[in-house]
Structure 1
Amino acid sequence: MNQDQGRGLFLTFEGIDGSGKSTQCRLLADHLRSMGREVVLTREPGGSPGAEEIRRLVLEGDPDRWSAETEILLFTAARRDHLERTIRPALAAGKVVICDRFADSTRMYQGLSRGDLRATVDSLHALMIGREPDVTLLIDMDPATGLARAKGRQGREERFEDFGLDLQEKMRAGFLSLAEEFADRFRVIDGARQMETVAADVARTVAAALDARA
């Protein structure tokens, strides 16, 4: 059982680059706030001052700057700081936490797509994090479409996008596999539709999760 069960609600969004998940995070936060909910909108890597410093290390520079093993350690360190300083306090206060990526992204990017290191990711997660989301919304998207969107946006952090379409395809397959593995918390949302349609689907899914905890 998640240690913050019965207090706040911990929601995460996952998906390949360019899937629109970050936009859906913001839209959901706005929607819940309009209903009177207290919401913390955050992201990974990042979400706390120390984790944001690590974000700059891992998301910028040459694609081969870090080995997969080093990335796992860096992401886990960032996640621990984020958990301590942002996520746990918000959940303890009864807030809804919406996080753009969490441990599932590390399971995919470093654990599977860059090497057979899933067991390492899970071991570190159990040791240092020990917390899964209450609900994970996977915004599913065609990899070629997602990559084109990602490369066309302003202010992008290029390092992982520059691994190319092959990584995007592996990531999509991996995320869908995770959705089957953790079927109790994953909800797969078709991201190929109009933004407003996707947002309405997300809102319905989260409303059901909130009602279940009422």
Structure 2
Amino acid sequence: MRLNTQRGMSLLELLVSMTIGLILLLALFNLMANLLATQSVDKRRALAGSVLDTAVSMMGMELRRAGYWGSTASGTNPYGNLYIENSGSCIRYAYAPLPGESAAASASRYLAFRLDNNKLQHLQTTAANWSCSAAANLWQDMSKADQASGLQLQFAALNAGKAIDIAVTARDPGNASQTFSRSTTVQLRNLPAVTTP
């Protein structure tokens, strides 16, 4: 009598191949999880860096206009003062409207930047509300508290008040040991009188 040879896989071979497959799937899963975590960290860092870049750029562009009067009349420039307050974390300045802008625009040319509750904020108001401690509803947020933690903002007068140094530092919300810093020096074109208490 002739015995038939077995065709296919034995139970042992099936178990071994399933174990190898599971090990490969586990390794692939770990690789994907690490890749996604790294991508999330990179995205968060890029967002925090972008917030700081945008804020420093906006502050620099605005401060270049500080003290602009645009008038040829004699007298004291009503926009000729710039104030650095709150230990250097708030700056107030003003400028006249550009030629062709409406009269309503001139009333709200009193501006400020500050750091408040881990948010960078911008103020554009009238002379009556022009203060680093103006009502909270007058300030516009330039950043969100969850985009970067431990924000620090510092303004400093340089070159006898002819320039302003802006420095912003933040920590990565997901990794407190990772910090981001951005800084720039702005030459004051219209040379407002800089006051630092």
> Which of the two has greater helix per residue?
1
What's the TM-score, normalizing by structure 2? Answer: 0.27
> Which of the two has greater strand per residue?
2
What's the TM-score, normalizing by structure 1? Answer: 0.25
* Structure with greater contact order relative to length (CA < 8 Å, sep ≥ 6): 1
